[in-house]
Chains A and B, each alone.
Chain A
């Protein structure tokens, strides 16, 4: 997807442009990540939070939906969606019924704790449980 549409760019002034810039700044403040957590959603400001919440609930959104939800032009919405893709908030998925691209929230992998200590503890626990299961099987046979 083009990040700078050639035909019609965003207006240079006015509330739409202000909102557009505000959204760009807000998204740029986030690190590049491989998916977001639900808690991230609660930290966003309106109207971004509302649109992403709706994307979670509706499963996907198209570009016109984003434009409507963010109160932006299609071209501006496209740039925002590109930024969201770049920062790992969204993934674009298979083409929709009307030939439109669908955008879905890209979720971070759920995991309690990935620290070394946690891995060691659960690893040991897993080994012990495995050995217990083998003993049970041996006793059965």
Chain B
């Protein structure tokens, strides 16, 4: 049975796209066929982590929403680009959003048929024989983002230990509950290493009545990598990689 997982945060800069790329890669490393859709149409970025250059995007999510192609035509196999062997059983397929300024403006101006998103997700799962489809969402609480959450079997909500994130996350948790999302996990990211991680986990779990899948530290290695690759492949034995693996276990359980 395929799973749809949305990765979301209330505010930008929490490491949402980075986490999406790392989780997708770890799932593929376990032999799964993983699809990633960048529904952050206004500020796309996850393609950078998968090292997909704009001129290599033969079709994008925008093209699909405008009826210029089928959703599977916008899926790019990025398994080898990300650094996994060609012989790997697990695969990662990315449906990027266009980074062309005119395309972004056009989407903002004309809008699109949201039903196509739902149909496209289902079609992609079926045709690409996906085990998991991960949706990288636009931060905040917008219509398309809520639809992505509503369609998901599980949601990973990322926050930083920051008062603004805390308040915004409370809003998102409440809305997600109204949408009856079957599984909701929180992940605290970029936590200062001086903090007691167990205390952070307890505080967040108590505040939202929701499981914290992991508390990840602020990492110089991650910052230095600067989205030029996927962390878990570059640092397979790092504690952050172990934590991401733990998140995968919980998302798939």
Contact = CB atoms under 8 A, between A and B. Distances in A.
Interface of A: 35, 37-39, 41-42, 49-50, 53-54, 56-57, 59, 104-112, 114, 118-119, 122-123, 125-126, 129-130, 133
Given A41-B179, A56-B179, A109-B113, 16 more contacts: A35-B115, A38-B143, A41-B150, A49-B178, A56-B118, A56-B151, A59-B118, A59-B122, A109-B111, A110-B112, A110-B114, A110-B143, A114-B111, A123-B109, A129-B105, A130-B102
Nearest to A126: B105
Interface string B11-40: 000000000000000000000000000000
A57 B191 CA distance: 33
A133 B146 contact: no
Interface in B106-134: 106, 108-115, 118, 122
Contact of B106 (A41, A50, A126): A126
B115 A119 contact: no
B101 interface: yes
Contact of B150 (A38, A129, A130, A133): A38
B109 A119 contact: yes
B181 to A, nearest CB: 9
A122 B108 contact: yes
A108 B179 contact: no
A6 B108 CA distance: 48
Contact of B114 (A107, A114, A129): A107
Contacts of A41: 150, 178-179
A57 B153 contact: yes
Interface string B137-175: 000000110110111110000000000000000000001
Given A53-B180, A54-B180, A56-B151, A133 B108 contact: no
A119 B109 CA distance: 7
A53 B178 CA distance: 9
A133 B102 contact: yes
A39 B114 contact: no
Contacts of A130: 102
B112 to A, nearest CB: 5
B247 to A, nearest CB: 22
A107 B149 CA distance: 15
B102 A129 contact: yes
A91 B111 CA distance: 20
Nearest to B108: A112
Contacts of B106: 126
Closest 4 CB pairs of A and B: A111-B111, A38-B146, A107-B114, A122-B109
Nearest to B102: A129
A107 B110 CA distance: 16
A107 B111 contact: no
Interface string B208-234: 000000000000000000000000000
